[in-house]
Amino acid sequence: MFEMTHTPARVTARWLITALVALAELVHLAWQVFHGGIQRHHLLNQADLPAISNAWGAVFLPLLAWFLAGRMLRRANGPLAAKALAVAAFGSLVAGIALSLAFVSGNADAPAYVLLGIILVSLVLPTCRSEYVLGFVLGMCITFGPILPALVATVIAAVSAIAHYLVRPALGWALARVRA
């Protein structure tokens, strides 16, 4: 049922993805060190709530990439599947960047609209899959650090999982009963 094939190509790809994420985060943190220090982000953007340092990204993002890359690569059974995974990861990366840009734009309504759009897309696409989560977190981590985007991605993934694994089957079952 759970096939654990650790082919050399998959192991190499997993290490490569993890190394690229780690390198990108270390470069990001080094840039912050030389431009005013490593930033911290308050939960819900409220100063009275605890702040989380971006430095956690040096540990969290490679671990997240290792875990999610392993899950992604198990489903990459050929060049077409690998291309689909890359397209999904890139699309969610763009969505994360769009949400970040909407937040820093100064328009108070823009992030809500972008987030609503992402949630609506998650009702159609299975954004609970690893490639979507990883791309989204990476797209937002430069603006928000790694932890807050992971929390947002968890909520979006939960909405998607409920839609795809509970609501859709229930609607299919109900429709089959009505037709019978």
pLDDT digits (tens, 9 = 90+) for 137-176: 999 999 988 999 999 999 999 999 999 999 999 999 999 9
pLDDT for residue 5: 58
Q: How many domains does the chain have?
A: 1
Report yes or no: 3 and 77 within 8 Å, Cβ to Cβ: no
pLDDT at 179: 87
Domain coverage including residue 50: 8-179
Residue 42 lies in a domain: yes
- Residue 2 domain-assigned? no
Residue 3 domain-assigned? no
User: Is the pLDDT assigned to residue 4 strictly greater than 80?
Assistant: no
Strands 40-42 and 51-53: antiparallel
Residue 154 lies in a domain: yes
Say if 40 falls within a structural domain.
Answer: yes
φ and ψ of 5, to 5 deg: -95, 115
The structure's pTM equals 0.88
In-domain check, residue 1: no
Residue 131 pLDDT > 60: yes
- 15 found inside a domain: yes
Looking at every residue in the chain, the average pLDDT score rounds to 91
Mean pLDDT value across residues 94-104: 96
Detail the DSSP E strand segments found in the chain.
40-42, 51-53
Task: Determine the Cα–Cα distance for residues 147 and 140; give it in Å rounded to an integer.
Answer: 10
Res 55 pLDDT > 80: yes
**pLDDT given at position 171:** 92
Is the separation of the CB atoms in 109 and 18 below 8 Å?
Answer: no
50 is a domain residue = yes
Across the range 62-91, mean pLDDT stands at 91
CA proximity to 54, closest of 40, 44, 75: 40
Contacts of 118 (CB under 8 A, 6+ apart): 95, 99, 127, 136, 156
